[in-house]
Structure 1
Amino acid sequence: MTFFEELQKQRWDDHRYYHHNRINQFLHLLSASCFIASYILVFYYPAAAALVGWLLAMVLRQTGHFFFEPKTYDEVNKTTHNYKESVKVGYNLQRKVVLLSIWALVPIVLFFEPTFFGIFTTNTDISGFVNNMAIIWLVVGLGAIVFRTLHLFKLMGVQSGLVWFCKIATDPFHDIKIYHKSLYYIMKGEMYDNMDDWYEDVSFENKV
């Protein structure tokens, strides 16, 4: 597959396997808007970008995955949840639990170790604590993306790793494109996507 074909395939697999529920899609729409705000903020206020990215964008996004997305047998794709977890290119639910656990531990560790093992100067006020916590969260987020990209270099090849990196970076824009009507479907009472409004590109399917 070419780079673009593999990007389309990764996007299609992610959509059809993990975004059946319309509430999950709507939460992804909100999350995408928050991530775009983070993209802008990171150039001016990196700490604020991390807070928006983790506390708003990530919480909204993972709430949709963990609480609204069905984990029973997938009738649309004729596959089990365990299979989907095993072929997930990026962070499946198990890997997300590990990542979110690290995220949640950061403020606890920082509370008992204010310098974070000598990285920061000691801050006694709440604003200093929040700023340091946000900076660590920013590093955790970027580090998670870099780590998985390098891991995919080994598992699937350099192109697949770079494709996933590109997908993650552009997901907010793509989510807005494909989920902008999610609230409309919810109001119509259509709580699950049958995937008929998306497409399956046979040009890359035949090359897998």
Structure 2
Amino acid sequence: MNDFLALLNEQRWDDHRYYHHCRINQSLHLLSACCFVIAYGLLLVDPAWAALLAWGVSMTSRQAGHFFFEPKGYDEVNQATHEYKEEIKVGYNLRRKIVLMGLWAASPVLLWLQPGLFGVFEPATSFVEYLHQLGMLWFWLGAGGLAFRVLQLAVIRDLRTGLAWATKIVTDPFHDIQLYHRAPLHLLRGERMDPMHWARGDGHNAVNGEQAA
């Protein structure tokens, strides 16, 4: 268990220090995390509406932060190129995210052009019913994307790495709130980039909630 937690913290630390330098990205992650927490609650009521919120708001804001605001040049803090970071990324790097988000964007079009999705659902008779079916489609896309990457990591690395990554993904919303709750305040102060002074030394305290203000 200690080894598993150490691996989980390492993945969290690498994700934070490599991919969350921009305060706009951090703020969007805070919005995403809050919506994900609400979506977790909605799972107990209706997984379809939970998925609509998770994909429609949480995932779009989160990935917009990565694609449009996070720097893609040389990382001076970590002394690493963007290509290197993409190569060692445990989860979904930008190339994999493009595929995943492409499937997400294609889903409503496919469901609209093919009502019932080849017999998976009864053809929707109202827009609300269509949205509910789309939510279920997005729910299974999310679950499938998570399971697929776990199995992929189990093959190319080991099962423990895959399970640690899945645990990280599921708990990221709570962790992101802990890490980035001050990001909007920093933005209001005019600080677009996180200087990450603490990351130049032993930054593992940051993933345990001890990040400097």
TM bracket, shorter-chain basis: over 0.9
Give the C-alpha shift of residue 90 in structure 1. Answer: 0.2
Give the equivalent residue in structure 1 for 2:45: 44
Partner of 1:109: helix, strand, or coil? helix
Give the equivalent residue in structure 1 for 2:139: 138
Give the C-alpha shift of residue 128 in structure 1. Answer: 1.3
Residue 200 of structure 1 aligns with an amino acid whose one-letter code is G
Give the equivalent residue in structure 2 for 1:2: 3
Give the equivalent residue in structure 2 for 1:79: 80
Partner of 2:74: helix, strand, or coil? coil
Partner of 1:116: helix, strand, or coil? coil
Give the equivalent residue in structure 1 for 2:203: 200
Q: How many residue pairs get matched?
A: 202
TM-score with structure 1 setting the length = 0.94
Tell me the alpha carbon deviations over residues 77-107 of structure 1, each in whole angstroms, 9 at most, x when there is no partner: 1111011000000000000000000011111
Matches within 5 A, 1:1-208: 2-197=3-198, 199-201=202-204
Change (3 A) 1:142 1:49: same
Give the equivalent residue in structure 2 for 1:205: none
RMSD in angstroms over aligned alpha carbons?
Answer: 1.4
TM-score with structure 2 setting the length = 0.91
Q: What is the distance in 2 between the residues matched to 1:92 and 1:41?
A: 28
Q: What is the distance in 2 between the residues matched to 1:119 and 1:12?
A: 40
Partner of 1:99: helix, strand, or coil? helix
Percent identity over paired residues: 49
Give the C-alpha shift of residue 52 in structure 1. Answer: 0.4
Residue 32 of structure 1 aligns with an amino acid whose one-letter code is A
Change (3 A) 1:197 1:26: farther
Partner of 1:2: helix, strand, or coil? helix
Structure 1: segments with no counterpart, 5+ residues? 203-208
Structure 2: segments with no counterpart, 5+ residues? 206-213
Tell me the alpha carbon deviations over residues 116-142 of structure 1, each in whole angstroms, 9 at most, x when there is no partner: 111111122111111111100000011
Give the C-alpha shift of residue 195 in structure 1. Answer: 2.0
Residue 17 of structure 2 aligns with an amino acid whose one-letter code is R
Give the C-alpha shift of residue 197 in structure 1. Answer: 4.5
Give the equivalent residue in structure 2 for 1:206: none
